[in-house]
Amino acid sequence: MSAPAPDTGSGPLSLETALDALRAHVEPGRADGMAGYHKVPRTYLGVPNPALNDLAKNWRQSMQVNDRVVLAQSLWATNIFEARLAAAKLLTQARITPDEGVWSLITSWLPDFDSWAIADHAMMAGQKRLMADLTRLDEIETWTRSQSHWTRRAAMVITLPLTKQNHPKPHENAARERVLGWAAAYVQDPEWFIQKSVAWWLRDLSKHDPDRVRAFMFEHAPQMKRFARKEAEKYL
């Protein structure tokens, strides 16, 4: 796997230029299908995900971090579906130094979440920043008490990388246990998206630490929705 391109960008990209680039990849008829699938009223251009990936990759390689933050903020503010996805992809990179501005922008998007696809893309960018600095769990824990189920769900999605290690370091294991504590509280939440987020987290963890998931399910499965239990135990 090649190393990330250094941030020696050629200069900022205007919002208008970025939107023109998105529109150049529109597939006729695709937007209507996307609007019907996502069921959230906003503009859908009809740009396929591979094209978004390619555009975001080129922008990341050609722009400095501060310029990417500015463009991501502008793209997000349009409320166009593909522009919001592109904003998140623009900031999805393992090594960003300094990254405080990136983290601040990603977390500022939380109140806008109204779609799992947009929320997941934003949290994938956030995952990189969390794993670069696990002390950010303190801030994320405040999300678990939000009135918005999208924000509560985001706490589980952004922490998914903690499920991936076969042999986590002590501080990573402590972080994993902390999130499992949130999950234990979430199992009493009747909201479908919350139950799904817990199941997703446990399902992924079961690939690397099945015994820990079995212990969790032994204690908490009776409180979980049936579909969530089935999903969590999929690989056990």
Q: How many domains does the chain have?
A: 2
- Domain range holding 165? 133-236
pLDDT tens digits, one per residue of 65-112: 999 999 999 999 999 999 999 999 999 999 999 999 999 999 999 999
Q: In which region does residue 29 sit, left (phi positive, over 0), alpha (psi from -120 to 50) or beta (all else)?
A: left
Contact 130, 175 (CB under 8 A): no
Task: Clarify whether residues 98 and 190 are in a common domain.
Answer: no
Task: Clarify whether residues 103 and 167 are in a common domain.
Answer: no
- The per-residue pLDDT for 69 is 97
Per-residue pLDDT band for 4 (boundaries 50, 70, 90) equals very low
Task: Clarify whether residues 120 and 3 are in a common domain.
Answer: yes
Q: Please provide the average confidence, as pLDDT, over all residues in the chain.
A: 95
Task: Clarify whether residues 63 and 151 are in a common domain.
Answer: no
Question: What number is the average pLDDT over the span 148-165?
Answer: 98
- The per-residue pLDDT for 8 is 40
Task: Clarify whether residues 112 and 218 are in a common domain.
Answer: no
Listed residues 89, 124, 159: the one ending a domain: 124
The CATH number of the domain holding residue 140 is 1.25.40.290
Task: Clarify whether residues 112 and 158 are in a common domain.
Answer: no
Half-sphere CA count of 14, side-chain side, radius 13 A:
3
